[in-house]
Structure 1
Amino acid sequence: MRLLIVLLGIFFASVILGIVTYSQVLQAALEKNEREKELLQLREQLKKGNQLQSELDTLKAYREKVRSSLEGYVKFVEKSAEEAVIPRNIIENNLNKISIFTNVPLRAPVTGFVSQEYSRIGHTGIDIVAPEGTPVQAAGDGVVIFSGWTYEDGYVLILYHPGGYITCYRHNAQNLATINQVVRQGDVIAFLGNSGESSSGPHLHFEIWKDGQPCNPREFLLDLTAGD
């Protein structure tokens, strides 16, 4: 009888010890799993942080490239025009020709299908597809600060609008407006085309800049409905 009691005691002690040991092992496994989850989350956050930093670096580099491009256009204008003056002076000398109500670029330059939307990285404008030769209209009252040819974008027009706005019209078949010309909102300034090395078909690449920063044209153009 005593032997049976001893054996039962040993058995229950072993069971209790096993339960305690299993609980400790399970707790350790759970803690390890939790640490691995936290480590994985930290790695994902670090990865996202690195991706965001890379994206910001790319955006900064692209903006600098575009700014340099625009500065190059203005310098080209100053060198090529016989009596070139900076855009601000042109505006001041022609205030009576520019309406304060129509200088903001709110008019769609062409009617067509939007084949590529604005992106803050890599494509700071919209592509509007329309038949080649379609008249391109000024989005707002302004002054032409560049009208010429570039290898990548073909025939390009750039307008300066009072209030810090700049609009760009790329891949034209022909530019009609000339440097230093004052244009009104809705004036035909070019014909849509397929010029330039980067163009893959007849379309207008249209950009709006405000105080040196690219803007989404859809936030400005009141009559842009095609392609929605």
Structure 2
Amino acid sequence: MAKKKKEQKKITKKLLNKYRLVILNEDTFEERISFKLTRLNVFVLVMITTVVLISCTTFLIAFTPLREYIPGYSSTSLDLKASRLVTTADSLKAVINVRQEYFNSIKKVLNGEVKTVEFDIDSALQSQKLNPQEVDLNPSEEDIQLREEVSREDKYSLFESEKSSAGFSLFPPVQGSITSLYDANEKHYAVDIAVPKDTPVKAAAAGTVIFAEWTSETGHVIILDHGNNLLTVYKHNASLTKQQGEQVKEGEVIATAGSTGELSTGPHLHFELWKDGYHTDPSKFIDFE
């Protein structure tokens, strides 16, 4: 242990021993500059100098154009120029291919293989831009479902400006032949759809049953409130499956078609659509056939 302490003191003494660095005039031996140094000072000075040099070099490489002269680095402008050159080369290649096809057509005429040149440069240029053989034009299953959904929204949305606020689309309550169209002049504010008796009548959209009663003229009647001042009315039903105050989902069965009421002439659904207190032609928003 004593020997170890002795060696440590010896090393410390060497590090702290003072030396003098003197610069003399060679002819006159006149002292010009002198420095008092220790080994520890020299070590610290060398480390600081090394750190400063590394930091300066890193800064020059990272934040100045000097990095462009280092292999492996490239500037943004050079990348843009390279991209433009690639695009230009592709365009030139397409033009050369078109010209070659045109020359081949002329060659066939000169050789007597064909009598006239049937070549459209515009069509050839367009074919060079996009090769249909390389593009998969078959829609995916997700794409088909999205197209159908958008198609239904565009077709059955009552008002385009209120599509997002309404949050639903209108679907046909029944599928059948229209026997009587909407005619405001004749005060027929509905569409009559002929269907077999006891055909399920479905809700055109989600809503609340605000009326479900029997009337002498229109038989079993059910009215749904869908919010946004939108009402749908279903008349001449054989029976009702929902009561006043119940909540229904779109497509849920709310009645069965029939021919009840004094004004009915056969099994059908009398369907009305009211918006903001005004009657509206349902066939403009729903495809019943």
Q: If the TM-score is normalised by the length of the shorter chain, which range does it land in?
A: 0.5 to 0.7
Asked if residue 142 in structure 1 is aligned to residue 198 in structure 2, the reply is no
In 2, Cα distance between equivalents of 1:131 and 1:195: 13
Match of 1:185 in 2: 250
1:206 aligns with 2:263: no
SS in 2 for 1:218: helix
CA distance in 1, matches of 2:206, 2:242: 13
DSSP-derived class of the 1:148 partner: strand
8 Å contact kept, 2:166–2:228: no
TM (normalized to structure 2)?
Answer: 0.42
Q: CA deviation at 1:120?
A: 1.2
The match for 1:107 among 171, 192, 200 is: 171
1:1-228 to 2 correspondences below 5 Å: 100-102=166-168, 104=169, 106-121=170-185, 122-221=187-286, 223-224=287-288, 226=289
Aligned to 1:90: none
| Residue 219 of structure 1: how far off its partner (Å) | 1.5
Alpha-carbon RMSD: 1.3
CA distance in 1, matches of 2:267, 2:210: 24
Q: Provide the C-alpha distance between the structure 1 equivalents of 2:285 and 2:250, rounded to a whole number of angstroms.
A: 14
Paired positions, count: 124
- Match of 2:182, SS? coil
| Offset from partner CA, 1:109-162 (integer Å, 9 cap, x none) | 100110000011310000000000000000011100000100000000000111
User: What SS class does the counterpart of residue 157 from structure 1 fall into?
Assistant: strand
Q: Secondary structure at the match of 1:109?
A: coil
Unaligned runs of 5+ in 2: 1-164
Q: CA deviation at 1:196?
A: 0.2
Q: CA deviation at 1:100?
A: 4.7
CA distance in 2, matches of 1:140, 1:113: 21
Gaps in structure 1 of 5+ consecutive residues = 1-98
Q: Output the CA distance in 1 between the equivalents of 2:241 and 2:199.
A: 13
1:101 CA displacement: 2.3
Shift of 1:194: 0.3
Tell me how far apart the structure 2 counterparts of residues 217 and 151 of structure 1 sit (CA, whole Å).
Answer: 24
| 3-state SS of paired residue (2:283) | helix
Aligned mates of 2:252, 2:166 — CA distance in 1 = 16
What is the alpha-carbon distance in structure 2 between the residues aligned to residue 141 and residue 120 of structure 1?
27
Deviation of 1:218 (Å): 1.0
